[in-house]
Amino acid sequence: MVDEATALAMAGATTVVAAMATTAWDSTRDAVVRMFRSRETAEQHTVQGQLTAHDHLVRQTEDTEQVRQILLPVWGQQLETFLSRHPDAAGDLSALIARTRNELPRAEQAWVVQNITASAPRSTAFGTIHGNVIQHNHYGSPTEATSAETAPEGESEDEAEGDDGARTPEGSA
C-alpha cells in the first residue's frame, strides 16, 4: 500500500517536473531549493544543480513528454527520501504543489497526474488520469498461491485448465 508520504512525494515530483521549461519554473525551483535549504543545507547546492540540469534537459529536447516521464521517478525518490528524513516538510511540499499548479500553463496543468491507488491483501491497483502509471517501490515478493488457494470454489485440485484456458476435469480435455 502506498503511504501518505509516498503519495505526497509523487504529487510533488509530478508538479516539479511539469513546471520545468515553463513560466512557473523559476518560482518552483526557488521554492524547492528553499525547502531543502531550511532542513538540509549540505544538500541545497546538489538539489539546485539537479533542478537546473533537469530543466535544461526538458528545454533542449523535442520530446518533453519522454524526458518528463524519465525524470518523474527520479524526483519522486528524491522527495520521498527528503520527507522520510524530514516529515515536518510535508506542509511545505503541499503548499508548493498547490502554488505551482496554479502557476502552470494550461498544457502542463493537464500533464499533472492524478494518482489513484487501491489495495487489498497481497495486491495493489494503480490508476492515473492524464498520464502513465509509474510504480517505483517494491515492498517484497508476493507469495505464491497453492493450487488449493487458486481453485475456484467447488472445484477440486484435480481439475486443470484445457488448451483454450477453460477449466475442465482432468482427463476429459
Contact 34, 51 (CB under 8 A): no
Q: Is 125 helix (H, G, I), strand (E, B) or coil?
A: strand
73, 155: one domain:
no
148, 63: one domain:
no
pLDDT of res. 106: 79
18, 88: one domain:
yes
d(CA 37, CA 31): 10
Per-residue pLDDT tens for 50-79? Answer: 999 999 999 999 999 899 999 999 999 999
168, 90: one domain:
no
Contact 4, 94 (CB under 8 A): no
> Which residues constitute the domain of residue 43?
4-129
Q: What is the pTM of this model?
A: 0.65
Q: Is residue 118 part of a domain?
A: yes
103, 162: one domain:
no
125, 65: one domain:
yes
Domain count for the chain: 2
How many CB atoms neighbour CB 18 within 10 A? 27
pLDDT of res. 165: 45
